[in-house]
Amino acid sequence: MRLPIKTDPEDGGVPLSMVNGEVDEEGYVEWKMLPSTVTGEEVTEIEKSLPAPFPPLFRAYLTTRFVLDMQVVNPPYFFMFPELPADNPFRDITFTLQAWNLLLTTGYIPFAEYQDGWGPVCFDTKQQTADGDYAIVWFDHEHLLHELDEEDYRLREKVESYAQSLFPSFRVFMTEMFLH
């Protein structure tokens, strides 16, 4: 749990409030999780630009703790969740939503990265469960960037053909990743 210390307000280093120890000679420092101050109303504000609200368990992730370097590894899976730094908790999720914003028009909400830059992991809002959760799918970034044009993103059928199903819900995803 060591990352570079934040040296610029705009960089992605460890915010001072999350520092847990001394900075080493390479500029790295241990960090600690902190209770989140993010409110449900702040999450709701982000959701206004989405095709549907986040699932309840993901909302809990966004509002419970400030956390950095959130990698979920359970072979063969490796996911990179958005970091929630104390000084800018929505930085990563906002970046992810903007980077893959064309997916929003067809009902996909990007929320994480598969492997290290292989493409977005998304909530598929067209596959909703009774409790407000969604199926989890992954898109290979090569397909999105090289096989679809902007017009294709308006057609659910076209985009859906590239979706690779991972889990039937975010709850199942979290259970499989953390309890097995």
Predicted confidence (pLDDT) per residue in 109-160, tens digit: 999 999 878 999 999 999 999 999 999 999 999 999 999 988 999 999 999 9
- The continuous run of DSSP H or E covering 66 comes out as strand 65-66
Average pLDDT for 169-174:
94
Q: For position 135, what pLDDT does the model report?
A: 98
Q: Is 149 helix (H, G, I), strand (E, B) or coil?
A: coil
DSSP letters for 68-130: SS-EEEETTEEEEPPPB-TT-TTHHHHHHHHHTGGGGGGTEEEEEEETTTTEEEEEEEEEE-T
> Could you tell me if 113 and 121 are in contact, meaning their C-beta atoms sit under 8 angstroms apart?
yes
All structural domains of the chain: 1-32 (no CATH), 37-179 (3.40.1580.10)
Q: Residue 144, SS3?
A: helix
Q: State the pLDDT at residue 66.
A: 97
Category of 161 on φ-ψ map: left (φ > 0), alpha (ψ -120 to 50) or beta: alpha
pLDDT band at 180 (very low <50, low <70, confident <90, very high): low
Q: Are 6 and 19 in contact (CB under 8 A)?
A: no
CA 102/CA 123 separation, integer angstroms: 14
Answer for the pair 31, 83: CB distance below 8 angstroms, yes or no. Answer: no
Q: What is the pLDDT of residues 16-74, one digit of tens each?
A: 999 999 999 999 999 999 999 999 999 999 999 999 999 999 999 999 999 998 888 88
pLDDT bucket at 179, cuts 50 / 70 / 90: confident
Q: Stretch 6-12: mean pLDDT, rounded? A: 77
Question: What's the N-to-C CA distance of the chain in angstroms?
Answer: 22
- Residue 178 pLDDT > 70: yes
Give the C-alpha separation, 44 to 32, whole Å. 26
Flag whether pLDDT at 9 surpasses 80: no
Range of weakest confidence among 4-8, 78-82, 112-116? 4-8
